[in-house]
Amino acid sequence: MITLRDYLRLLPKAELHCHFVSTLEPARLIALADQYGVALPTTDPDELFDYDDLADFLVAFRAATDVLRSPADLAQTAYDGVRAAVAAGNLLYREYGVNPQYFAQRGIGYTELLDPIRDGLRAAERDLGVGYRIVIAINRRESARAAVELVERMLEHPYPDVVALGQDDLTPKGTEDPGRFAEAYALAKRHGLKTTAHAGETETASAEDVRVALDVLGVDRIDHGYRVLDDPGLVARVREERVPFATTPVSTNVLSGWPLDPDHRIARMIRAGLNVSVSTDDGVFFRTDLGREYAEALHDFGIDAEGAKAIALAGIDGAFCDEDEKARLRADFTAGFLALDAALAP
Ligand code: ADE
Ligand code: ZN
């Protein structure tokens, strides 16, 4: 017999919102920073992983992108990140946000970045059976023109597993302003790419940012989206349209100080019947993993076994892989659920 917490940790999972750099393991992050002489904001792990808000965290995040320099650093990080996530939370599929603009600033080109990451992820898929796709993230600190050029790079170098456009960081004013990138999204969509956007995450964001992502950018999915709750009309619409929300519980606790309890915005989105999956966002920085997101955050939201299975399946519904892969994942999840249901203490 197993407890509900063990059940939640062992449940098969698909993760849709995971920034590649944040799959670095803490010891490797600190060792690589030392090797390359990269100044992290602090070398005290307690402070390195402690932030006032998103803007404060992004300082550490940008520094961490600088420790991944050689193809071997990138490929090994990719492979080891999958192995760790399988051990910590029974990961079966994951989508990675990769921000090439951070790397281009240091002379690492688009294909130089993508090739080794893909090598590592394909090796992990072969060895561990964990499928994946890559979402290219627009750096919101940079211009709308640079975002269009980024999509042009994607179209020049198509990869079968690089399937979508997203965004990260914040605008120079510290806002989300997703609509700034309308031209880049239109170009991506014309060429059949899927789309997502970080929206409705920060203190200054609003439900309007979520609406703009949906209506101006035409996204297929929303990353975060918590502010949607401030507009009941929009809540009704996204429930009706089954818009996928890739939420990240522990990150909201670290960056916004929201307690992980039944009144949390994500818990309320789930109770409102929205299409919610959960992810780590930035595991290394928020000292989380997918097992913890389920066994601690979902547990403390008051989610039971049936609710957790629905959230795990929402990770497949909202994924950007093809229907055949989704069907295989659903079959694997269902088999895993059956075994765990039989073991769950009554
Ligand atoms: N970069 C990494 N994590 C992020 C987040 N949650 N929001 C914006 N940019 C990010
Ligand atoms: Zn994110």
One-character DSSP codes across 259-312: -SSTTSHHHHHHHTT-EEEE--BSHHHHT--HHHIIIIIIHHHT--HHHHHHHH
With respect to residue 320, please indicate whether it lies within any of the assigned structural domains: yes
Among candidate residues 15, 95, 142, 201, the one labeled active-site is 201
Residue 38: domain span: 4-341
Distance 343 CA to ligand 2 centre (A): 34
Nearest to 193 by CA among 154, 246, 233: 154
Give the pLDDT of residue 266.
98
pTM given for the model: 0.97
Number of structural domains, the chain? 1
Going from the Cα of 2 to the center of ligand 2, the distance in angstroms, rounded, reads: 32
Let me know if residue 128 belongs to a domain: yes
Is 56 domain-assigned?
yes
Cα separation, 227 vs 39, in Å, equals 35
Q: Which ligand is nearest to the CA of 281?
A: 2
Does residue 44 have a pLDDT over 80? no
Q: Does the residue 120 lie in any domain?
A: yes
Predicted confidence (pLDDT) at residue 27 exceeds the cutoff of 90? no
What is the pLDDT at residue 7? 98
Mean pLDDT of 213-238: 98
| pLDDT at position 283 | 95
pLDDT band at 141 (very low <50, low <70, confident <90, very high): very high
With respect to residue 110, please indicate whether it lies within any of the assigned structural domains. Answer: yes
Closest-lying ligand 1 atom to the alpha carbon of residue 251: 6
Distance CA 76, CA 123 (A): 10
- Kindly state whether residue 286 falls inside one of the protein's structural domains: yes
Phi, psi of 15 (to 5 degrees): -115, 125
Whether pLDDT at 328 is above 90: yes
Q: Which ligand is nearest to the CA of 223?
A: 2
Q: Is 201 designated active site?
A: yes
With tokens 């999972």, the residue in question is 13
Whether 346 is in a domain gets the answer no
pLDDT band at residue 42 under the 50/70/90 scheme? confident
- The neighbour count for residue 346, using CB atoms within 10 Å, is 3
Distance (angstroms) between ligand 1 centre and the Cα of 49 equals 14
- Please give the Cα distance from 163 to 8 (Å, whole number): 29
Band of pLDDT at residue 41, cut at 50, 70 and 90: confident
Taking only the tens place, the pLDDT of each residue in 169-203 is: 999 999 999 999 999 999 999 999 999 999 999 99
In a domain, 44, yes or no: yes
At residue 243, the pLDDT reads: 98
Q: What is the pLDDT of residues 96-112, one digit of tens each?
A: 999 999 999 999 999 99
Domain CATH number, residue 111:
3.20.20.140
| pLDDT of residue 51 exceeding 90 | no
Pick the closest to residue 170 from 93, 99, 240, 89 (CA basis). 99
Q: Which residues line ligand 1 (CB under 6 A)?
A: 19, 54, 61, 168-169, 198, 201, 251, 281-282
pLDDT value of position 279: 98
